[in-house]
Amino acid sequence: MNFSPKPAVTRTLIVLPLLSVSLLPVLLLLAMVCFSLSREEESVRLPSGTLPRPPRVAQSPVISVRLAGQGAVSLGGQRLAAVDLPAAWQRERAALQLLGFELPQATVIVRADRDVPTEKVQRLIEQAQEAGFTKFALRPVESPGPDGSKP
């Protein structure tokens, strides 16, 4: 019988795969933290200075007059007889002055049907000029669309 000692078994652990598997999540976590911190430390530099203000646009009052084909006059949506028109112009003038507007600032928009004679439009403008209005605009009457609404 041979009583020689058993050879010693040397067990060597392969450490490299174990380290790589355990350190990989740690490295990923460190990388995520570093990237998130670098974004938080970034500062935004805005230009300094004053922004330009939008231009002030002076409001100009508008008075709308409509002449229908039958000779009916509507001032501000209210039907008037021809004899009441000079008094209505004076009321408009007083209302503008009460609101703080000057008469040269106001624009009178005259909307007339096609079949209204030119003399009636001219007479209306003359009455407005006698009341002190100076700016006029001639516009067509807005016709309702197919569904009844104005364009």
Which ranges in the chain belong to alpha helices (H)? 15-41, 85-99, 118-130
User: Has residue 57 got a pLDDT over 80?
Assistant: no
Alpha carbon distances (Å) from 135 to 67, 68, 103, 130, 145 = 18, 21, 9, 13, 29
Quick one: pLDDT band at residue 151, thresholds 50, 70, 90? very low
Any idea which residue has 């000692």 for tokens?
5
Percent residues over pLDDT 70 in the chain: 80
Domains detected in the chain = 62-140 (3.30.420.270)
Residues 7-20 have a mean pLDDT of 68
Rounded Cα gap, residues 117 and 120, in angstroms: 6
For 64-117, write each residue's pLDDT tens digit: 999 887 778 888 788 888 788 888 999 999 998 898 888 888 899 999 888 888
Residues 47-64 have a mean pLDDT of 79
- 61: CB partners within 8 A, 6+ apart: 96, 99, 101, 105, 106, 107
